[in-house]
Structures are given as C-alpha cells and as structure tokens.
Amino acid sequence: MAPYHIRTYQDSDRKPVLDIFSSSLDEHVPATFRHILWLPKTPLLELGVPLSLLLVSGSWLLAITSSLTLFLFLCFLDRCPWKQYMATTLHTDMADITKSYLSACGSCFWVAESRGQIVGTVCAVPVENPPLGKKQLELFHLTVAMEHRGERIEKNLVRTVLQFARDQGCVEVVLATSVIQRSALALYQGISEFTVVATTYSSDSFNIPTPFCSRWGPVIYFPCINKILIESSAVTTEI
C-alpha cells in the first residue's frame, strides 16, 4: 500500500480532481444498465413491443429490429443520468472549486495525495435550512481512484469530514447516494453511527422521479436515492 496524505485542495489540483471525478462516474454505467434490466417494466417492453409488432404486421424483421432498437435505447438511457450529472456539476460547484468550497466559512475540499498524484477527493458544505436545533454538514464528491481502492483512503476521507464537522460544531453529517453505488453504501454502513434517515424508491419506473439535489439546486434524476445521516461523534470510533 502506497503512503498517502490528505490535504486541502489547491488550484493546481483541478485537472487530476476532474479526471478522477469523471472516471468514477463512468464506472457507474454498467451498474446502471444492470439496474435498468432488472426493472419490472424492462422485460415487458423488450418482449411486449416486438411481439405486438409481430402480431400486427406478421414481420419477423420488424419485430427483431424493434427489439434491437429498444436495447440500444436502454444502453443510451443508462449513460444519460451520469453524463448530465457531470455536465451540470462542471457548470456549478466544480466550475470553481476554490470559490465553491474554500471561500465560504464552514466548507472545505480535500484531496488524498500519494507519491505526488491525486488519488481521492471529498468535500463538505453546511446544510442550508437544517432541522431546528441541529447544525449539519453535507458531504459531497467522495471519490478514490480505482487502483487505490481498499487502502482505507475512502474511510479516512470520511474521517476527515467528520473531524471537520466536529470542529465546526456540527452534530450531524448528511449525504445522498443511490443504491447503484453499492461500494459507497457499504462504506457508509461500516460507520458505527450510520443511520438512513430517508429512502425514496423508484425502481419500478423508467421515469425515475426521484431528484438528486444539492445546495446548487436540482442536479439530476437518479433511481433509489438514499439520504444518509452520520452523527459527527462517529469520528471518535475506528471507521
């Protein structure tokens, strides 16, 4: 395991940070496709539409063509949310990371550096309009390069956010992720003070009506958003 350290973001880190962020989103495309295939309406479309065309027209060619067209449409559909999320993020908070996370009080952006290379990121901002009597911090953009997974970098990036939350007097850290991101869910569930505070499922719909939002407004629609809450006291435990 290569040595690494976690430090505050610098402007010179922008390109490697965006490269890691982009690569991490590309990794979700196969999982999203599998998720779409397992939706209840998928087999109905894949079988129902070609069969209906076959019964109406009597043409096997038309039925096979429609089936291939639907398959290509699903391949396109599974990429759309992540591409739109990337485009939106690059025009909002990630357009100027220093301004978004390092200029305001109570927010920060960290990178994990190993042998001169940026291998991970995480950031946090205060929650706007938190529940009465609770000061909350929201975690964003937890990402680690594929070749450095399993080196506890992810856990120590979360630990950094939790310590920052304690220093800011926050009692809770909140974040949002989708069930497609199984490794992220496993990471957060490994934190002793982990609590899912709200879950919205839309797994039976192609419309995917659950918005993934941030302080910069609605970002994109993802299936099965998990709102996760971590008490900042969890930083005192081994993650």
Distance CA 182, CA 90 (A): 24
Tens digit of each residue's pLDDT (9 = 90 or more) over 64-102: 888 888 888 877 777 777 788 888 888 889 999 999 999
- Contact by Cβ (8 Å): 151, 5: no
Percent of the chain whose pLDDT exceeds 70: 77
Provide the 10 A C-beta neighbour count for residue 92. Answer: 15
Domain spans of the chain, in order of start = 5-12+101-236
CATH number for the domain whose boundaries are 5-12+101-236: 3.40.630.30
Q: pLDDT value at position 102?
A: 95
Give the CA distances from residue 190 to residues 57, 158, 172, in Å, rounded to whole numbers and listed in that order.
Answer: 55, 11, 16
Most confident listed range (56-60, 68-72, 113-117): 113-117
Largest CA distance in the chain: 70
Which of the residue ranges 20-29, 138-147, 152-161, 228-237 would you say has the lowest mean pLDDT?
228-237
Which of the residue ranges 23-32, 122-131, 201-210, 215-224 would you say has the lowest mean pLDDT?
201-210
Provide the 10 A C-beta neighbour count for residue 23. Answer: 12
